[in-house]
Each structure stands twice: as structure tokens, then as C-alpha cells.
Amino acid sequence: MPGALLTPGQQGGPHRLAARRGAAVHGHRGLRSRTRSAVTAASGSPSSQSCSPRRRRRRRTVLAVHFRSRRGRRPLRRWCAMTEMTMRRAHIGDHGTIVECVRTWWGDSRTPEQARELSLLLPRLFLQFFSGTSLVLEDTGRIRAFLVGFYAADNDDEAYIHFVGVDPELRGRGVGRELYTAFLRRAAEAGRREVRAITSPGNTGSVAFHRAMGFTVEPGDREVDGLSVHSDYDGPGQHRVCFLRRIADSPSPQRA
């Protein structure tokens, strides 16, 4: 995991000050004048000479965070909402929460019945027997992302990623990448040489993600929209794209 992320409830410190001032610039007149004063001070005007070096540094910190938001890379308020998260091994006690997460997180793109059916891909046995190789990302006890994976029992070389879920509020921020990277590292440390995963042919986002993570598409028996797939992999009409990544000699993940 990278360094700690900004906690919205942090008391004091320049980050919270930055959040208040940055948000104020977008709608509160009273604090706009304060930000203008900070701009004047940071630009080297006479007023800045009367400030202590510590105060000038704090003002520059405020401006750096504010302008980072104004460039549009990420909304400041949303950026500040990211909390310090912890990655850990999954526990069997996480099962009920993870199932509920699947039904909630996929509720924006599926009907309640479809989301419920998707959650059936995670029966309790996965955390009963493979919790040691599965991962959970949480903050203040709340699960924000998870990865369910395991090592092959029939050989000592392969590992498999079965299911990954990320809170919609955190999607697009590299959370899935962190989970995959952690699983790949642990699998390599356990002596595994290959990691496999599958997805549906129509899930173009998943295909692009796995390719960016260094996975290759295994040749199948037919093509769907130019993509090699394995027919009836999960049952009649349930075609799947199969991915393979060799841990020892594969390139480092690329930015998607």
C-alpha cells in the first residue's frame, strides 16, 4: 500500500485547512478573500514579508492543494473524502459483509435480482477455506474493497483470482491495482509462478484492466468482437476470456 491517504476527520494540520479553504473558493465569498490573501502572500508581496516562515509555508501548502483540485484531476472534496485504509487478510467473518457489498456496489448497474445473483458467486466456502489468500481493504472497520483468490491445490505453480470488488466511490483510483499487486506479490512469495483470472467477453473494462496489469489473453476456440474466448466455459452459452500472468518474467504493471 502507498502512504496514508488524507482522512476527512483529521483534527488540525494544513490538510484540513486546505480542504476548508479549497471548498470555500467554489462558493463562499467570505473565504474567497482569504484565498486571495494567501495568493498575495505566496507571490512575495510585502504582506508576505511580515509573516513567519512557518505561516508562509502553510499558505503555500493550501495553494498547492487548491490548484491541484482546480486543474480538474480530482474534485478536492472527493479527494479529501479518501480515508487512511488498511489492507489485511480476509476472515470468514467478512463473508456476510462482502456479500452485502456486492449487492450494494453493483446496484447502480444491475437490478436487485441481478446483483443478488452476482453475490452468489461468493459462497461462504471461499472465505472458509481461502481466507488466508484473500484480501480486504478497509478504513475504520468498513470494507471498501476486497479480492477473493486462492492457490491451486493440484499443483504448486498456479494461483487464481476469483472475484474483486471495489466501492464505487473509490473506483478509478488504483484500488483494484493495489489489490492485484498485493496478491501477485504474495503468490510469488509462496512459490507460485502463474496467476489466472477470467471475465465475460463483454466486460471491456475488465479486459483492459487485466492487460494493463500484465496479463495475456489465452487462446480460445472462438472469437467474440475480435477477442479470443473459451466457449461454454461456465456453462452453456457462458463464454469467458481467460487471462494468464507469469509472475517471474512478466513486466511490471502499466498505468491504464
Q: Return the C-alpha cell found at 101.
A: 457489498
Q: 215 and 114, same structural domain?
A: yes
Cα distance between residue 167 and residue 101, in whole Å: 8
Kindly state whether residues 96 and 145 are assigned to the same domain. Answer: yes
Q: 223 is in which domain, residue-wise?
A: 86-246
Write the DSSP symbol of residue 2.
-
Based on the structure, what is the number of domains in the chain? Answer: 2
Domain termination residue (choose one: 59, 80, 101) = 80
Sheet with 216-217, edge to edge strand ranges: 86-89, 135-139, 142-151, 158-166, 194-199, 241-246, 216-217
pTM more than 0.85: no
Q: What is the pLDDT of residues 82-103, one digit of tens each?
A: 457 999 999 999 999 999 999 9
pLDDT greater at residue 126 or residue 81: 126
Short-list 55, 139, 126, 42, CA closest to 91:
126
**Residues constituting the chain:** 256
Position 19 pLDDT exceeds 70: no
Q: What are the pLDDT digits (tens) for 208-252?
A: 999 999 999 999 999 998 899 999 999 999 999 999 999 974 444
Q: Are residues 129 and 171 in the same domain?
A: yes
Window from 58-67, 195-204, 225-234 with minimum mean pLDDT: 58-67
Of 39, 65, 80, which residue constitutes the final position of a domain? 80
Asked if residue 9 has pLDDT above 50, the reply is: no
Phi (first) and psi of residue 139, to 5 degrees: -135, 135
Looking at the fold, whether 73 and 101 belong to one and the same domain comes out as: no
Residues 167 and 206 both lie in one domain: yes
Q: What is the pLDDT of residue 83?
A: 55
Q: Quick one: pLDDT at residue 52? A: 52
Task: Kindly report the number of other CB atoms within 10 A of residue 151's CB atom.
Answer: 19
What's the pLDDT band for 254 if we cut at 50, 70, 90?
low
Bridge partners (DSSP) listed for residue 55: none
Within this chain, do residues 60 and 127 fall inside the same structural domain, yes or no?
no
- Phi, psi for 114 (deg, rounded to 5): -65, -40
pLDDT at 35: 40
pLDDT in tens, 34-44: 444 433 333 44
Average pLDDT score over the chain: 76
Mean per-residue pLDDT, 71-87:
54
In the listed set 80, 98, 123, which residue is the last one of a domain according to the structure? Answer: 80
d(CA 185, CA 195): 11
The amino acid present at 90, given as its one-letter code, is A
